[in-house]
């Protein structure tokens, strides 16, 4: 067969096939009721939980970064729940491929890795957008977080950038799963780590120095800061810096994901860990 | 009386039905119904290998799972060793072994020996003799050298052997083997068949599903053919040959035969069935013959004018029987 | 031919041993098992900081419960989910011992790892505070803490049945994780919740046990108005009910999955 006659999937086709098909291979995406549960139930219960803790501790009305502690916590958890639909779900897709024995077939295909991994991020990005939006609606309607109409455009930009950054981070961890038996472990770690290190429940300044630096390495920290700044109606000057930081976190995450997938793909092929779960 | 052993056949099913319902969709739930078994009546005698043949999707695994207490029938009854598979599982499970095979079904992160030890404990293999029994079955399936390696490092054939080792570990009276040689290389498959034969000499009844005809012919004195959820035939291999028209099969090949010639061959004494098939420019007539009197020359005599005519004889194979019966059922 | 007689106790110990072997073969779960309690401990410490003289006890109990929830309760069901993934659920269910006794072995393992999580929480919170909490009766605290763990284990046994029932159990449990934290009052007394939620919370043995533990270790604590001993009695009664029902629940679940035929799904 001549070179020209060898069939090759285009970038766009690989992207769309992975965008639509890959999520359906994972249990968490297979059922619409679970997707709806992720979007509507998890943010509400997580917000209720931490705001009750704040109420018990007696500091609900303490002022924190321009919000009351209760509003601060509600808003932080509204955004933090994006970790389920981005990091956790994307890791799960990789694990599921390994368990079903389909990862080897994907890796042996000539499909563009860039299209493949970016495609896999599309549905999680959409679900992440929905999750943060619903979380913010709860924060506004149930927890008294002040969101003015004029803040909505800036808020939308912050939310979109955060969703991209978080899914990129999920892809990054998913790449490590090629080498590890499972990436859900990493998903779990970062699910918890976000609660502590990203300023979800209290400002980063409350943490000891080294932990603060760890927090700055997480995309959620920057995304949350941008969303809080937008809610508080801060000007484009300070918002722009935060947006740039979130965009950089997204770019670094996606870029590192692609690089890591290549590294771990080679490593996994060398060690045979692709077939282990 | 469920605590007592009962005489009678090893397996007896009456009008066994199994239906699977699956739903998809969220707002508009769409239900798909599959009838895997449609009234299976089957009797399997004790102390031999019984083969269940059938194409993919015929219901072989469904029947095996029902008989081994892993699935309930939708209706009908199934007795194994005289005990009901739906109500007397406590009595039955220690006495039956199940080998579903494949890449899954084993704890991949631990060794083959540890897998066997775990199941030996679940089955109550006496502690005093447990390790010796594990060594014995490992030796029997040829895994002694690999016993302490992680299962994830095993080849497919080794995993299959470990599945079988687990199935016989607790000395079952009846062993269900679902496609035991599927995916194995010829040498491993031959070793597995040898192992299966040796189990019968221990008095174990073996219920084996396969779609390898030569395997069934080699191992199973009696067998049944399952097609689309129904048993379409059940007997010895020889009796099944008779069922499809005879022990002898004659084949005539040339560049095309006309209808008159086919009718002339069909009218020969002892010919019970003629199947025509084309392959490329050639045509083949396959004749099932009941009597031993019909000669090749008689066939040639009915097909004059074909310089390239080739006529040969062979014994009707189980594959011929199988294809005839399954195709007949499909029609 | 006389069949071997399977023993429930032996099946449970075999299952415990298998859990240990699998852990040794793949110890990477140790990482989240150790990191999660550290994070929960620090978050809890920070949230409760300054809340009265007994805030450290609140912080330890809250973070300890969250940590043990993951390791003891979720872990017990998750192991059954892994049986589905490995394809070992079918051969294990086909063995003569009821699956419940296999689950018990795993629950014991998860209780042990949950205790490790509880210990890590204690060390982290004490380390962050620079000293131990003021406990009126440290022995009672430890004993009752172990008792809370047992009540969680009882719930874990029943939750594992859910994993046999459906391959979706893990996702449903994930979605319900924080609802469970809220409902059981692991960080705050359930009396803070709307009244209509209280009866739901009382179906959970850990709610009673934790309330009893708070009564015993936080002077002036106001939880359920009926006090320590009724709380303890409630915890014992609900735990006993869970364990008594476990056999029947597993039996029904087993019948269900044999009817549906979904044991091989994952």
Neighbouring residues of B219: CB distance < 8 A, sequence distance ≥ 6: B49, B51, B193, B196, B197, B208
Q: Does C182 touch chain B (CB under 8 A)?
A: no
Q: In terms of domains, do B280 and B207 share one?
A: no
Give CA angle at C36 (C32, C41), nearest 5°: 160
Q: Does A54 touch chain C (CB under 8 A)?
A: yes
Nearest-Cα residue of chain B relative to residue A34:
B26
Domain boundaries, chain A: 3-275
Interface contact A48-C178, CB threshold 8 A:
yes
Q: In terms of domains, do B122 and B184 share one?
A: yes
Quote the tokens at residue C156.
């874990």
- Closest alpha carbon to A49 in C202, C183, C201: C183
Q: Are B122 and C92 in contact (CB under 8 A)?
A: yes
- Closest alpha carbon to B136 in B101, B107, B160, B168: B168
Q: In terms of domains, do B195 and B258 share one?
A: no
Instruction: Calculate helix-pair angle for A69-80, A42-56, nearest 10 degrees.
Output: 150
Q: In terms of domains, do B107 and B212 share one?
A: yes
What does each C-alpha distance from C84 to A194, C155, C168 come to in angstroms?
30, 21, 11
Q: Does C47 touch chain A (CB under 8 A)?
A: yes
- Closest alpha carbon to C19 in C102, C118, C116: C102
Q: Within a 13 Å sphere around the CA of A211, how many CA atoms are in the beta-carbon half?
A: 18
Q: In terms of domains, do B288 and B166 share one?
A: no
Q: What are the helix and strand counts (H, E) for chain A?
A: 14, 2
- Closest alpha carbon to A271 in A184, A186, A180: A180
Q: Does C81 touch chain A (CB under 8 A)?
A: no
Q: Does A10 touch chain C (CB under 8 A)?
A: no
Q: Are A239 and A153 in contact (CB under 8 A)?
A: no
Q: In terms of domains, do B140 and B272 share one?
A: no
Chains touching B by CB (3 or more pairs below 8 Å): A, C
CB atoms within 10 A of CB B282: 13
Question: Chain B neighbours among A 97-116 (CB < 8 Å)?
Answer: 101
| Alpha-carbon gap, residue B271 to B294, rounded angstroms | 8
Q: Does C58 touch chain A (CB under 8 A)?
A: yes
Q: Does A59 touch chain C (CB under 8 A)?
A: yes
The one-character DSSP state at C215 is H
Interface contact A55-C192, CB threshold 8 A:
yes
State the smallest CA–CA distance between residue A29 and chain B in angstroms.
13
**pLDDT tens digits along B236-270:** 988 888 777 777 899 999 998 999 999 999 999 88
Q: What is the structure's pLDDT at B2? A: 47
In-domain check, residue B5? no
Q: What is the structure's pLDDT at A199? A: 92
Interface contact A57-C35, CB threshold 8 A:
no
At residue B311, does pLDDT exceed 90? yes
In-domain check, residue C150? yes
Interface contact C96-B104, CB threshold 8 A:
no
In-domain check, residue B327? no
Mean pLDDT for A145-151 is 90
| Alpha-carbon gap, residue A106 to B77, rounded angstroms | 45
CATH number of the domain within which B262 lies: 3.30.70.100
- Closest alpha carbon to A257 in A133, A113, A147, A86: A113
Phi and psi dihedrals of B195, rounded to 5? Answer: -65, -45
State the smallest CA–CA distance between residue B99 and chain C in angstroms.
9
Question: Chain C neighbours among A 113-142 (CB < 8 Å)?
Answer: none
In-domain check, residue C134? yes
**pLDDT tens digits along B39-61:** 999 999 998 999 999 888 899 99
Nearest-Cα residue of chain B relative to residue C23:
B109
Interface contact B26-A31, CB threshold 8 A:
yes
Query: Counting every residue, how long is chain B?
Result: 331
State the smallest CA–CA distance between residue B119 and chain A in angstroms.
22
Q: In terms of domains, do B235 and B258 share one?
A: no
Q: Which of C35, C40, C175 sits opposite A189 (nearest CB)?
A: C35
Quote the tokens at residue C239.
């735990």
Quick one: pLDDT band at residue A61, thresholds 50, 70, 90?
confident
Interface contact A275-B26, CB threshold 8 A:
no
- Domain region containing C187: 8-260
In-domain check, residue B325? no
| Alpha-carbon gap, residue C209 to B132, rounded angstroms | 47
Quick one: pLDDT band at residue A274, thresholds 50, 70, 90?
low
| Alpha-carbon gap, residue C23 to C75, rounded angstroms | 12
pTM: 0.82
Q: Which of B90, B121, B173 sits opposite C1 (nearest CB)?
A: B173
- Closest alpha carbon to A28 in A169, A131, A159, A158: A131
Residues of B with CB below 8 A from C1's CB?
95, 171, 173, 203
Q: What is the structure's pLDDT at A10? A: 81
State the smallest CA–CA distance between residue A181 and chain B in angstroms.
10
At residue B207, does pLDDT exceed 90? yes
Q: Which of A31, A33, A276 sits opposite B152 (nearest CB)?
A: A276
Q: What is the structure's pLDDT at B4? A: 64
Contacts 24+ apart (CB under 8 A), B107-110: B107/B151, B107/C18, B107/C22, B107/C86, B107/C88, B108/A276, B108/B150, B108/B151, B108/B152, B108/C86, B109/B150, B109/B151, B109/B152, B109/C21, B109/C22, B109/C25, B109/C26, B110/B150, B110/B151, B110/C18, B110/C21, B110/C22, B110/C25
H/E run at residue B45: none
- Domain region containing B214: 11-240
In-domain check, residue B331? no
Residues of C with CB below 8 A from B32's CB?
none
In-domain check, residue B234? yes
Residues of A with CB below 8 A from B108's CB?
276
CB atoms within 10 A of CB A104: 14
In-domain check, residue B323? no
At residue A162, does pLDDT exceed 70? yes
Q: How many beta-carbon contacts under 8 Å exist across A and C?
A: 105
Q: In terms of domains, do B201 and B256 share one?
A: no
Interface contact C175-A201, CB threshold 8 A:
no
In-domain check, residue C266? no
**pLDDT tens digits along B142-201:** 999 999 999 989 998 899 999 999 999 999 999 999 998 887 888 888 888 998 998 888
Of B209, B240, B271, the residue at which a domain comes to its end is B240
Task: Provide the number of structural domains found in chain C.
Answer: 1
Interface contact B98-C96, CB threshold 8 A:
no
Q: What is the structure's pLDDT at C77? A: 83
Q: Are C246 and C161 in contact (CB under 8 A)?
A: yes
Per-residue pLDDT of chain C (266 residues; tens, 9 = 90+): 577 888 899 999 999 999 999 888 877 767 777 888 898 899 888 888 877 778 899 899 988 888 887 777 777 788 888 898 889 999 999 999 999 999 999 999 988 888 888 999 999 999 999 989 888 999 999 999 999 999 989 988 888 898 899 888 888 888 888 888 888 888 888 877 887 877 778 888 999 999 999 999 998 888 776 789 999 999 999 999 999 999 899 999 999 999 988 888 87
In-domain check, residue B185? yes
- Closest alpha carbon to A182 in C27, C88, C37, C263: C27
- Closest alpha carbon to A257 in A179, A187, A181, A169: A169
What average pLDDT does the structure give for chain A?
85
Quote the tokens at residue A206.
């409350």
Strand partners, B111: B150
| Alpha-carbon gap, residue B4 to C2, rounded angstroms | 10
Nearest-Cα residue of chain C relative to residue B95:
C3
In-domain check, residue B322? no
- Coil, strand or helix: which one is B23? strand
* Test the C interface: residue of A192, A207, A275 with most C CBs within 10 Å: A192
Quote the tokens at residue B73.
């029938």
Q: What is the structure's pLDDT at B25? A: 63
Interface contact B70-C90, CB threshold 8 A:
yes
Q: In terms of domains, do B206 and B87 share one?
A: yes
Residues of C with CB below 8 A from A31's CB?
168
Q: What is the structure's pLDDT at B26? A: 59
Q: Are A115 and A15 in contact (CB under 8 A)?
A: yes
Task: Provide the number of structural domains found in chain B.
Answer: 2
Q: What is the structure's pLDDT at C66? A: 83
Q: What is the structure's pLDDT at A170? A: 87
Nearest-Cα residue of chain B relative to residue C266:
B104
Phi and psi dihedrals of B32, rounded to 5? Answer: -110, 130
Q: What is the structure's pLDDT at B5? A: 66
Quick one: pLDDT band at residue B28, thresholds 50, 70, 90?
low
CATH number of the domain within which B111 lies: 3.40.50.300
Nearest-Cα residue of chain B relative to residue A31:
B26
Q: Which of B26, B103, B152 sits opposite A33 (nearest CB)?
A: B26
Q: Which of C32, C46, C52 sits opposite A206 (nearest CB)?
A: C46
Interface contact B118-C14, CB threshold 8 A:
yes
Instruction: Give CA A256 to chain center in angstroms.
Output: 15
């Amino acid at each position: 067969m001549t070179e020209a006659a060898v069939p090759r999937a285009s970038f766009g086709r690989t992207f769309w096939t992975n965008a639509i098909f890959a999520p359906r291979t994972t249990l968490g995406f297979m059922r619409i009721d679970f997707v709806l549960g992720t979007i509507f139930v998890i943010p509400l219960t997580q917000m209720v939980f931490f705001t009750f803790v704040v109420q018990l501790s007696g500091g609900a009305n303490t002022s924190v970064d321009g919000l009351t502690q209760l509003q601060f916590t509600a808003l932080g958890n509204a955004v933090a729940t994006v970790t389920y639909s981005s990091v956790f779900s994307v890791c799960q897709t990789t694990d599921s491929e390994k368990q079903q024995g389909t990862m080897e077939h994907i890796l042996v295909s000539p499909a563009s890795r860039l299209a493949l991994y970016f495609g896999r991020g599309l549905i999680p990005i959409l679900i992440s957008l929905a999750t943060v939006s619903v979380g913010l609606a709860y924060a506004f309607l149930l927890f008294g977080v002040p969101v003015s109409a004029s803040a909505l455009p800036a808020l939308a930009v912050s939310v979109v950038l955060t969703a991209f950054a978080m899914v990129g981070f999920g892809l990054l961890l998913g790449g490590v799963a090629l080498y590890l038996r499972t990436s859900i472990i990493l998903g779990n770690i970062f699910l918890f780590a976000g609660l502590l290190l990203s300023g979800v429940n209290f400002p980063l300044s409350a943490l000891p120095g080294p932990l603060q630096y760890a927090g700055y390495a997480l995309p959620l920290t920057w995304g949350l800061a941008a969303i809080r700044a937008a809610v508080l109606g801060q000007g484009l000057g300070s918002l722009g810096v935060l947006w740039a930081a979130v965009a950089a976190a997204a770019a670094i995450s996606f870029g590192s994901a692609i690089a890591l997938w290549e590294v771990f793909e080679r490593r996994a092929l060398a060690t045979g860990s692709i077939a282990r779960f | 009386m469920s605590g007592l052993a009962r005489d009678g056949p090893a397996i007896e099913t009456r009008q066994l039905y199994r239906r699977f319902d699956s739903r998809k969709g969220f707002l508009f739930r769409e239900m798909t119904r599959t009838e895997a078994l449609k009234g299976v009546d089957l009797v399997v005698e004790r102390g031999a290998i019984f083969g269940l043949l059938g194409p993919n999707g015929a219901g072989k695994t469904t029947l095996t799972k029902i008989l081994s207490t892993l699935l309930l029938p939708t209706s009908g009854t199934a007795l194994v060793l005289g005990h009901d598979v739906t109500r007397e599982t406590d009595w039955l499970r220690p006495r039956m072994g199940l080998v579903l095979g494949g890449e899954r079904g084993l704890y991949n992160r631990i060794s083959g020996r540890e897998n066997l030890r775990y199941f030996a404990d679940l089955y109550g293999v006496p502690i005093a003799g447990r390790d010796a029994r594990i060594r014995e079955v490992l030796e029997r399936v040829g895994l002694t050298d690999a016993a302490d390696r992680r299962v994830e490092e095993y080849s497919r054939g080794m995993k299959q052997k470990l599945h079988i080792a687990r199935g016989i570990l607790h000395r079952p009276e009846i062993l269900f083997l679902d496609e035991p040689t599927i995916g194995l290389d010829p040498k491993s498959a031959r070793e597995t068949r040898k192992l299966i034969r040796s189990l019968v000499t221990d008095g174990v009844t073996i219920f084996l599903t396969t779609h390898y005809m030569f395997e069934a012919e080699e191992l199973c004195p009696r067998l049944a053919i399952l097609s689309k959820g129904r048993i379409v035939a059940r007997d010895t291999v020889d009796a099944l040959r008779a069922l499809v028209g005879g022990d002898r099969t004659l084949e005539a090949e040339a560049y095309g035969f006309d209808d008159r010639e086919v009718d002339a061959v069909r009218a020969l004494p002892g010919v019970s069935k003629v199947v025509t098939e084309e392959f490329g420019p050639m045509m083949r007539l396959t004749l099932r013959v009941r009597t031993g009197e019909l000669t090749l020359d008689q066939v040639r005599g009915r097909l004059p004018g074909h310089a390239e005519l080739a006529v040969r004889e062979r014994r009707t194979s189980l594959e011929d029987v199988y294809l005839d019966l399954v195709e007949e059922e499909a029609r | 031919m006389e069949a071997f007689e399977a023993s429930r106790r032996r099946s449970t110990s075999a299952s415990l041993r298998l859990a240990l072997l699998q852990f040794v073969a793949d110890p990477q779960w140790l990482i989240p098992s150790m990191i999660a309690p550290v994070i929960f401990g620090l978050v809890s410490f920070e949230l409760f900081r300054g809340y009265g003289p007994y805030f450290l006890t609140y912080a330890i109990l809250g973070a300890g419960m969250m940590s043990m929830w993951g390791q003891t309760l979720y872990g017990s069901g998750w192991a059954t989910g892994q049986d589905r993934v490995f394809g070992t659920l079918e051969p294990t269910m086909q063995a003569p011992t009821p699956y419940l006794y296999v689950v018990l072995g795993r629950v014991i393992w998860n209780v042990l790892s949950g205790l490790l999580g509880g210990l890590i929480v204690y060390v982290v919170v004490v380390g962050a505070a620079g000293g131990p909490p003021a406990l009126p009766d440290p022995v009672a605290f430890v004993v009752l803490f172990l008792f809370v763990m047992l009540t969680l284990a009882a719930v874990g046994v029943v939750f594992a049945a859910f994993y046999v029932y459906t391959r979706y159990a893990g996702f449903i449990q994930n979605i319900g994780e924080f609802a469970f934290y809220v409902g059981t009052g692991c960080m705050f007394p359930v009396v803070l919740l709307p009244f209509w939620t209280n009866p739901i919370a009382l179906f959970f043995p850990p709610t009673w046990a934790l309330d009893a533990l708070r009564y015993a270790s936080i002077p002036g604590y106001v939880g359920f108005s009926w006090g320590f001993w009724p709380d303890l009695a409630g915890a014992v009664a609900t735990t006993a009910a869970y364990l008594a029902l476990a056999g029947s629940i597993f039996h029904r679940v087993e019948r269900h999955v044999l009817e549906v035929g979904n044991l091989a799904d994952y």
